[in-house]
Amino acid sequence: MDKHAVAPPIAATALDLRDRLASGALSVADLADAVIARIEARDPEVRAFTWFDPDFVRKQAAGLDAHRISGRPLGALHGLPVALKDVIDTAGIPTENGCPLDKG
């Protein structure tokens, strides 16, 4: 097995994912689980993330699914996964600027 094939790629476009999420054909939780699996499979080699908390991602996904189920309006990017660069202050997430001096 190819070492890069350990997790299935997420092949859909952002527009396709958005439509599937909005219609309920795909839950944010299921998409999050696929993204988590991909990150856990690839990041030990790629090392793109300085901080990654799958439980935090799953909690956010559950809240977004509840929002959709409630019938409230959805934003254009509702449920689509994003990663933030380590230079953006975000509540509950360490900001270390990719610098050992700022670590911790």
> pLDDT by residue (tens digit) across 12-44?
889 999 999 999 999 999 999 999 999 999 999
Q: Please check the confidence at residue 82 and state whether its pLDDT lies above 60.
A: yes
Crossing angle (nearest 10°) for helices 54-69 and 28-46? 160
- The predicted pLDDT at position 89 comes to 83
CA triple 13-16-22, angle to 5 deg:
140
> What predicted TM-score, i.e. pTM, was given to this entire model?
0.82
- The predicted pLDDT at position 94 comes to 81
The answer to whether the CB of 35 falls within 8 A of the CB of 10 is yes
- From CA 94, how far away is CA 69, in angstroms rounded? 31
> pLDDT by residue (tens digit) across 35-76?
999 999 999 999 998 889 999 999 999 999 999 999 999 999
Cα-Cα-Cα-Cα dihedral sign, residues 3, 56, 83, 29: positive
- From CA 27, how far away is CA 20, in angstroms rounded? 8
